[in-house]
Structure 1
Amino acid sequence: MNIPNILTIFRLLLIPAFVIVFKNSPSNNNLALSTIVFLIAGFTDFLDGYIARKYNLVTKIGIVLDPLADKLMLMTVLTCLVIKSYIPLWILIVIACKEIFMIFCGVFLYKKGTVIPSNKLGKLSTIFFYVSIVILVFNKTAGKFLLYFSVASALIALVNYTFVYKKGKKDDDKNIYLNNNREYL
């Protein structure tokens, strides 16, 4: 267990904390107060990634747990926002389908010994969601518009992950072919 993995586990623990603050705030500031919990989760996400890369503490479990924590936090936040009618249900449905698809693909690939780490588009999409949700606290119209943009960026990131996997698969097949046929080359 290293510091980045501990931060990721802490982020997982912030998920129920977000729900508690969102549902049980003593005033009408439930969105603002729970957004603080959400931002703390975002900071730990940045921090664990930074520490893992800077000090070469990247682990397989971290590569799996980190995006899982992100997905669970995002789905929790979107669900809460839908329940309180801050955002339309379709946003949750689209992102839930995308995330479930990515989780199943990730588990399938992990069992085959393949892990596709997050990339810049995926991270950028996550940042868009964080910014959108923070903006939603101050301006619901602008926040919703930015959430629409965030959904589009998440779908673009999904397509990009598919291309990354297919390119990696094609390169792997080529390497297997070359290794198996080296004696003929």
Structure 2
Amino acid sequence: MDVQETGVRTNRIFTIPNLLSLLRLLGVPLFLWLILVEERDFLALAILAFAGFSDYLDGKLARRWNQVSKLGETLDPLADRLYILTTVGAFTIREIIPLWFAILLVSRDAFLVCLVPFLRRRGLFALPVHFLGKAATFCLLYAFPLLLLSIGEGTLPMLAQVFGWAFAIWGVALYWWAGILYAEQVRRVLRETSA
């Protein structure tokens, strides 16, 4: 959720957008169980599709209904990161994506985690989410269901693979670009607060 678009942020907890983010979080262990234990790919695909759609919907509703909240600003990116990390891990285990691709994705988050102590020393806990980060997440959350759908033979899996990797490649590029922009934000914050 982008507070800069609304200018209003509440302390409300019980909102529809927060409920959607919470449902997305609860879907993470279910997704892992379905894809790794049961290998029920169609149901896992449904969970991923819900995650992608609800990520879009919770932000849209929060802005439209003036329900942007502090809790939502925490839950939304947390759910996004958990889906990305667990999906990358599960897809690597199932050999849906290669290990090098998983390392490329996870190393960006590891890079950003290294910046957190610098923010904390200045009394900050997070940076504002920007459009590029949301676009990267959008691409990845649409790539994953398509890559899962690409398992098998035939026209549909072949098309899913083409479009899935297109979204995945754009997603990784935008993900890293957003990460570099976040690092630049941290550098500016540190410079401004030390002056």
Q: Give the TM-score normalised by the residue count of structure 1.
A: 0.78
Is the contact made by 2:139 and 2:167 (CA closer than 8 Å) also made in structure 1? yes
Match of 1:83 among 77, 83, 93: 93
- 2:81 maps to which residue? 71
1:7-59 Cα distance to aligned partner (Å, 9 max, x none): 2111110001111221354xx7x333312101111222222212222233222
Q: Which has the higher mean CA deviation after the structures are superposed, 116-125 or 97-106? A: 97-106
Could you tell me which runs of 5 or more consecutive residues in structure 1 were left unpaired when the two chains were aligned: 178-185
> Which whole-Å CA distance do the structure 2 matches of 1:169 and 1:54 have between them?
34
Aligned mate of 1:22, from 28, 35, 40: 35
- Paired positions, count: 171
* Structure 2: gaps (5+ residues): 1-12, 150-156
Alpha-carbon distance in structure 1 between the residues aligned to 2:19 and 2:112: 23
Match of 1:8 among 6, 18, 21: 21
Matched residues in 2 for 1:65 and 1:165: separation? 21
Residue 117 of structure 1, CA deviation: 2.2
Identify the structure with the greater helix proportion. 1
| 1:116 lines up with 2:127 in the alignment | yes
The CA deviation at 1:62 is: 2.0
| Higher Rg | 1
Q: Which has the higher contact order (CA 8 A, sep 6+)?
A: 2
Deviation at 1:104, TM superposition (A): 4.9
What is the CA-CA distance between 1:106 and the residue it aligns to?
4.5
SS of residue matched to 1:61? helix
Deviation above 6 Å: which 4+ runs of structure 1?
A: none
CA RMSD of aligned residues (A): 2.6
- Out of 54, 57, 81, the residue aligned to residue 44 of structure 1 is 54
Query: C-alpha separation between the residues in 2 aligned to 1:77 and 1:107?
Result: 27
